[in-house]
């Protein structure tokens, strides 16, 4: 097996044993699904920058914006959206990114799209990006990404969000490509199952490793950006890790390691928890009720 480039020197087979097959499979699937523009020419082809999405490039959780947009289009029931939003509150407002919660939230999202055509979800995702997500982008983070592009480097998004959504965001902001959670597809439709696990924590690092091997990247010269301590495995792979809008755990780790820290949040302290969970639940249930009311209004029109 060809050794992975970069700073991590642990034996790959041993790492695979320690991380478990799902994370490795998720990482390899994400790298295999990455769309790299064939005509792309860069002046520094062995160097790339990797950006997390949620709270790094996009303010908040991108999959929440997608779910809300799909709900408004009658893609699933009000009960479904309330259940999904409760999980998102626990995941985001609770300030935790536990892998079990992440898997549960992802399973809920996959349940919504199971049986639907991939092309339909991508089309609606494009609409939702233009309606909502485009207004949630951090200009400061995009400026950092543009600096890498201007230097002749490739820039990828790396996210636990569905790879289709990650691609939409990358394409619309002019990046090279995206790595994301890969869903099983049969005959152009989602089956409701994942390939491996969500692209989260160690799985992100595995995806970057696999892409680096495929594209002959020198990870020691690459950069990575994230807000979460859960992405320390990915950040530790590269020669230039940067904590962006960091949570407490990542901020402490970055300081201890001498990593660069950037914070683009306006008028906020460097924390993720903005409102109590109970208030957040009330807000999100209100969103679900609003979705149902709008659906009833349209039905009666």
pLDDT digits (tens, 9 = 90+) for 118-150: 999 999 999 999 999 999 999 999 999 999 999
**189-194 and 183-186 as β-strands: parallel, antiparallel, unpaired?**
antiparallel
| pLDDT exceeds 60 at position 73 | yes
Task: Read off the pTM.
Answer: 0.76
Domains and their CATH numbers in the chain: 12-38+48-300 (3.40.50.1000)
What DSSP character marks residue 241?
E
Structure tokens at 265: 């949040």
Which of 2-16, 95-109, 265-279 is predicted with the least confidence, judged by mean pLDDT?
A: 2-16
198: Cα within 13 Å, side-chain hemisphere = 22
| pLDDT exceeds 60 at position 236 | yes
- 3-state percent breakdown (helix, strand, coil) of the chain, nearest 5: 55, 15, 30
Q: How confident is the model at residue 193, as a pLDDT?
A: 83
Given a contact cutoff of 8 angstroms between Cβ atoms, the answer to whether 158 and 205 are in contact is no
Per-residue pLDDT reduced to its tens digit, 262-275 = 999 975 544 443 33
| pLDDT exceeds 50 at position 204 | yes
Lateral strand order in the sheet of 260-262: 177-181, 154-162, 48-51, 223-226, 240-244, 260-262
Among the listed residues 11, 54, 107, 119, the single catalytic one is 54
Among the listed residues 11, 52, 150, 218, the single catalytic one is 52
Sign of the CA dihedral running 139, 141, 143, 145? negative
Any catalytic annotation for residue 54? yes
Q: How confident is the model at residue 134, as a pLDDT?
A: 96
Any catalytic annotation for residue 263? no
282 versus 225: the higher-pLDDT residue is 225
Average pLDDT on 243-256 reads 97
**C-alpha 261: how far from chain center:** 20
103 versus 197: the higher-pLDDT residue is 197
């Amino acid at each position: 097996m060809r050794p992975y480039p970069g700073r991590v020197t642990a034996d790959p087979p041993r790492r695979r044993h320690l991380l478990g097959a799902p994370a490795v499979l998720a990482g390899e699937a994400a790298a295999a699904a990455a769309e790299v523009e064939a005509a792309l020419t860069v002046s520094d082809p062995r160097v790339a920058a990797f950006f997390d999405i949620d709270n790094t490039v996009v303010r908040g959780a991108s999959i929440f914006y997608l779910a809300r947009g799909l709900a408004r289009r009658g893609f699933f029931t009000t009960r479904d959206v309330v259940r999904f939003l409760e999980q998102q509150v626990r995941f985001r407002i609770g300030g935790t990114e536990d892998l079990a919660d992440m898997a549960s939230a992802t399973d809920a999202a996959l349940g919504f799209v199971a049986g639907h055509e991939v092309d339909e979800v991508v089309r609606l995702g494009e609409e939702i990006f233009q309606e909502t997500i485009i207004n949630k982008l951090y200009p400061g983070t995009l400026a950092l990404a543009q600096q890498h592009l201007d230097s002749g480097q490739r820039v990828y998004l790396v996210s636990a969000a569905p790879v289709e959504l990650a691609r939409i965001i990358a394409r619309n902001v002019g990046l090279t490509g995206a790595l994301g959670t890969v869903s099983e597809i049969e005959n152009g439709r989602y089956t409701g199952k994942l390939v491996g696990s969500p692209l989260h924590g160690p799985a992100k690092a595995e995806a970057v490793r696999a892409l680096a091997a495929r594209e002959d990247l020198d990870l020691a010269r690459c950069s990575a950006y994230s807000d979460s301590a859960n992405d320390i495995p990915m950040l530790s792979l590269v020669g230039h890790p940067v904590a962006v809008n960091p949570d407490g755990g990542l901020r402490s780790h970055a300081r201890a390691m001498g990593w660069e820290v950037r914070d683009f949040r306006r008028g906020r302290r460097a924390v993720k928890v903005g409102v109590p969970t109970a208030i957040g639940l009330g807000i999100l249930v209100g969103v679900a009720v609003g979705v149902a009311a709008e659906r009833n209004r349209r039905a009666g029109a």
